[in-house]
Amino acid sequence: MIAMLLAALAVILAITLAAMIHLARADRRARR
């Protein structure tokens, strides 16, 4: 059970990091 929870958290963190990076790139392009 713990392994499954850690895997789920890892997936969520990966998605959130990817989304933050994408938004950061969009903001930089929009500002310039």
Three-class secondary structure assignment of the chain: CHHHHHHHHHHHHHHHHHHHHHHHHHHHHHHC
- pLDDT band at 3, cuts 50/70/90? very high
- What does pTM read for this prediction? 0.65
Name which residue leads in pLDDT, 28 or 5: 5
Where in the sequence is the domain holding 21, given as residue range(s)? 1-32
Domain count, the chain: 1
d(CA 1, CA 3): 5
Is pLDDT of 31 > 90? no
d(CA 29, CA 32): 5
Q: What is the pLDDT of residues 7-16, one digit of tens each?
A: 999 999 999 9
Is pLDDT of 28 > 90? no
Q: Determine the distance from the C-alpha atom of residue 15 to the mean position of all C-alpha atoms in its chain, rounded to a whole number.
A: 4
Position 29 scores a pLDDT of: 81
